[in-house]
Structure 1
């Protein structure tokens, strides 16, 4: 529990569900460790350059498929040309557990994420309102938060502005959006520095892992495993 009182599960919009404290501290620690491995390469953590000349304030590393505005590829042609790390089956299983936690029996029966965008926010980083719409699949997006809390602004599918709802996402929180909210605009106007718990292995900043089902096919998966890599060491 991150505060004095437990935070309840909330349906923020149709198909958009916030599940506080879903990740245990142990799982958060394992995810931080494996994200650090991904950040070292084969494609390193970087600030993404936008087509208009701007540079995103968050730093990103991709797994399974490389996201480059505004398309997916197996190789990071805008960074170093290397093929991105393969998407592990244990991460797909974690995504299915997340969808089940959010939707229960009403969720999709065969959620099969094959791409992860790992974003690191320092104290000044933010994310403007945007839609996740490069995927050919309309399957839900799974978002996992570790480290500093943030204000997550969840809007509507029609426009970047109001109506929207500001949600406090803390370390260990799960947010899933699909169905009528799959293409809702969303962003992170600010991070709350100094709110990270050192037990997760991330003493500062916010780590956000978003899982997507691209619908692009391909074989970029590792051997099936129910364990986190660090649990076997």
Structure 2
């Protein structure tokens, strides 16, 4: 038998202790997820946040849930109010919360109930630098990340920024879950390559579910 030329794109993949890629886990509801994203962004449009140092982020972002992740000159934080509208963030669709809970359970984290969903929009050339998700009040709950649209290279490192990250190809419908010993792993996304997806066009959309409070 001819060996698979791209073994990391076939079947679920363990990334480390407590971290897993669930291949195609969201495919069955992809169109519904995209429709729900459209509803969220109609109420809370994508925007490019500014870092505390004054740099404009290349990834466009918005949120849904009881709190949303924001960044500005005052720092990184969760806020129940959309600073652009002055209104609460749109409620998290039940479809989102259900998917996040099922994916977390499949990766070994039963009972996950996210209260925040950060929605990222990537265009070709956009990247996300290595960082830790550490603005949550505790780190007991996992992170659940859903990929939609153009394929991307996920960078998954260790507990120190200097640790060389693993390069993991992600396709439309893949879900990454990490927690426990890898909850504070540095991670990011390599610059998005040009492409055209039948559902999202020249874009990649990512849903990141967290228990912030």
Could you tell me which of 147, 150, 153 is aligned with 1:148?
150
Alignment of 1:167-206 (within 5 A): 167-194=168-195, 196=197, 198=198, 201-206=199-204
Which string of whole-angstrom CA distances, capped at 9 and with x for unpartnered residues, describes residues 145-182 of structure 1?
Answer: 0111111100112x222232110011010100100110
Aligned residue in 2 for 1:71: 77
Contact 1:45 1:61 in 2 (8 A): yes
CA shift at 1:88, angstroms? 3.1
Which string of whole-angstrom CA distances, capped at 9 and with x for unpartnered residues, describes residues 65-103 of structure 1?
Answer: 1211311111022x2322110123332221111012222
Unaligned runs of 5+ in 1: 217-233
Contact 1:149 1:195 in 2 (8 A): no
Distance in 2 of aligned mates of 1:83 and 1:59: 19
CA RMSD of aligned residues (A): 1.8
How many equivalent pairs are there? 202
What secondary structure does 2:107 align onto?
Answer: helix
Distance in 2 of aligned mates of 1:53 and 1:92: 33
Which string of whole-angstrom CA distances, capped at 9 and with x for unpartnered residues, describes residues 117-161 of structure 1?
Answer: 00000012110111111111320000000111111100112x222
TM-score by length of 2: 0.89
Aligned residue in 2 for 1:81: 86
Aligned residue in 2 for 1:15: 18
Distance in 2 of aligned mates of 1:12 and 1:81: 39
